[in-house]
Structure 1
Amino acid sequence: MQELTFWKMVFQASFFIQFLMIALLAGSIISWISIFQRWQVFRVAKEAHDEFRERFWSGIELNELFRDTDPYEVQGAERVIYSGFKTFNRIRQKTTDPEPILEGVERSMRIALAEEQDRLHSGLPLLATIGSVSPHIGLFGTVWGIMEAFKSLAGVQQATFAVVAPGMAEALMTTAMGLFVAIPSVIAYNRYIASSESLLNHYENFADEFSGILHRSLITKKAD
């Protein structure tokens, strides 16, 4: 009895099934590249946030904290606070009224938060798409393979398991490949979405704390 191996099924599969397998393989490669890229982004973002939070609450003056800041290199909470502080200095030169100053600062920080959200979520829709589409591609290949297997039975006088088994195995192989591609993508997507929401909540809390500091500073100076 001839042994039926994975590679033998791949090379003996129909052209259409091979095309679907290549598409799933390409999806898997793209998915893993995106997973490692996003892992690097979130690792750097977490480290940058912890470092900036430690420097911010060390008692350093804001002017000194942002003295050598490059607006094109900062990210995360540092970018949000830097954006608010820059707006604070600009508006304070025109008015001493706390209300328009704080409104401008909060608007600037909201914009920075939205941009950080876009940066953290970049690439995640691709993972979601691969994770949701891959099983359907595999299922489509399975249905196609089963139809081809049954069509081949029309050419034989006696249908036995040995005749049907290779075609059925070939058909089910695409479903297995689809799941193999989809499962890591879905797991990574859910994990990174949770990490993104956690970081964004930290950034937003940081922005609220910074607004409170500026509000107290403005109220104190106005009272003086």
Structure 2
Amino acid sequence: MKMLNFRSIGVAVIALALLAPPAPLFAQQAPAASPPSATAPTPSATAPSQPTAAPAAVPAISAAPAASTAEPAATQALPEAGHAPGSVVPGLSELSPWTMFLNADIIVQIVMVGLAVSSVITWTIFIAKKVELGRARFRLRRSLKKIAEARSLAEAQMALGDKHSVLSMLLAAALREAKLSAGLSSDDGIKERAASSFSEYVRAEARHMRRGMGFLATIGATAPFIGLFGTVWGIMNSFIGISKSQTTNLAVVAPGIAEALLATAIGLVAAIPAVIIYNHFSREIKVYLELVARASGAAGRLLSRDLDRSHGSAHRARAAE
């Protein structure tokens, strides 16, 4: 009996040993199959209760590369279009007047520099002529007030003093003519010759005050056409650049056209003030010449009084004899 028991126990142990390995082997293979299911589930690793989950995941994985390849194509299309909202075309952000001048053709640059110099000349003439006319008008009005109560040429000269003005020159011309014509009995001839001297001084003063007006007239008349010449030249160069680059992209076309139009803008900036200043000084000089005419009339009246006074004293002398 004991022998049978040992045999039965041995058979049971061997049977348990044969049956034990399949369970640990299955336990080791189960964790190895679980990682693929975490990243990309396959039909063999999915649970039987979800047979349709794996086919839905496969199109999602294939759609991601398509989206990534479509994104560079979209980004490449934006620079070519040139009109996407929020996008800045290369070169257009640098179109300032100074950069346009530096990048312009040499002929256009010469035109711009000439127009800029013309504008400087215009404003220089404006400042100088404004000061000159203001001072001359002030001196002449003050001189006319001083001789308003004078009764003779000598008294008027004493009232003015040694100050150099148009009125003092007219008085000196009247006195000189009176001295040169001393002994002549014709007063009308003396007055005529004195009036001729006065007109020469008036014309000389008008020429003096109109100095610089020719520059203003020339700049106002020619500056727009000079600027237009620069514009035409710049646009020709722009079209030549377009034909060489064989493209109508805005970044290629816009800078040349902007540089060309800048010449016209500078021409207008030089011409418009020149015309306005010319018209302004034409009125101011006209007012000043009216004052000079008043001074000429005042000198002529003083000369006439002196002539009448001399003839009156001569008549009294003859009557006394």
Aligned match of 2:187: 98
Distance 1:32 1:7 in 2: 22
Partner residue of 2:109 out of 1, 18, 22: 18
Q: Is 1:153 matched with 2:242?
A: yes
Residue type of the alignment partner of 1:136 = F
Aligned match of 2:166: 76
Residue type of the alignment partner of 2:149 = S
Q: Deviations over 1:106-148 (max 9, x none)?
A: 1110111111111111111112112222111111101111111
Partner residue of 1:56 out of 147, 156, 160: 147
Aligned match of 2:56: none
What's the TM-score once normalised by structure 1's chain length? 0.88
Distance 1:186 1:13 in 2: 28
Q: Please give the secondary structure, in 2, of the residue aligned with 1:155.
A: helix
Q: Is 1:43 matched with 2:129?
A: no
Aligned match of 2:272: 183
Q: Is the 8 A contact 2:230 2:263 kept in 1?
A: yes
Aligned match of 1:114: 203
Q: Please give the secondary structure, in 1, of the residue aligned with 2:244.
A: coil
Q: Is the 8 A contact 1:42 1:120 kept in 2?
A: yes
> Kindly tell me: are residues 80 and 194 of structure 1, through their superposed partners in 2, closer, same or farther at Cα, counting changes over 3 Å?
farther
Q: Please give the secondary structure, in 2, of the residue aligned with 1:158.
A: coil
Residue type of the alignment partner of 2:132 = V
Shift of 1:105: 1.0
Shift of 1:101: 1.1
Aligned match of 1:86: 176
Q: Is the 8 A contact 1:134 1:181 kept in 2?
A: yes
Distance 2:246 2:201 in 1: 72
Work out which of the two has the higher radius of gyration on C-alpha atoms and give 1 or 2. 2
Q: Is 1:34 matched with 2:125?
A: yes
Shift of 1:94: 3.3
Q: Is the 8 A contact 2:153 2:299 kept in 1?
A: no
> Kindly tell me: are residues 200 and 188 of structure 1, through their superposed partners in 2, closer, same or farther at Cα, counting changes over 3 Å?
same
Distance 2:192 2:173 in 1: 13
> Kindly tell me: are residues 208 and 59 of structure 1, through their superposed partners in 2, closer, same or farther at Cα, counting changes over 3 Å?
closer
Residue type of the alignment partner of 1:200 = L
Distance 2:280 2:166 in 1: 19
Q: Please give the secondary structure, in 1, of the residue aligned with 2:241.
A: helix
Shift of 1:9: 0.5
Q: Deviations over 1:70-125 (max 9, x none)?
A: 5xx6233443343233323432x232421121112111101111111111111111
Residue type of the alignment partner of 1:27 = S
Aligned match of 2:311: 222
Distance 2:231 2:185 in 1: 70
What's the TM-score once normalised by structure 2's chain length? 0.63
Q: Deviations over 1:189-217 (max 9, x none)?
A: 11111111111122223323432443355
Q: Deviations over 1:157-185 (max 9, x none)?
A: 33133322111110010111111111222
Of 74-83 and 198-207, more deviation after overlay is shown by 74-83
Shift of 1:61: 4.7
Distance 2:196 2:119 in 1: 41
Q: Is the 8 A contact 1:75 1:116 kept in 2?
A: no
Number of residue pairs aligned between Structure 1 and Structure 2: 221
Residue type of the alignment partner of 1:155 = K
Q: Is the 8 A contact 1:83 1:112 kept in 2?
A: no
> Kindly tell me: are residues 47 and 182 of structure 1, through their superposed partners in 2, closer, same or farther at Cα, counting changes over 3 Å?
same
Note the 1:157-168 alignment, pairs <5 A: 157-168=246-257
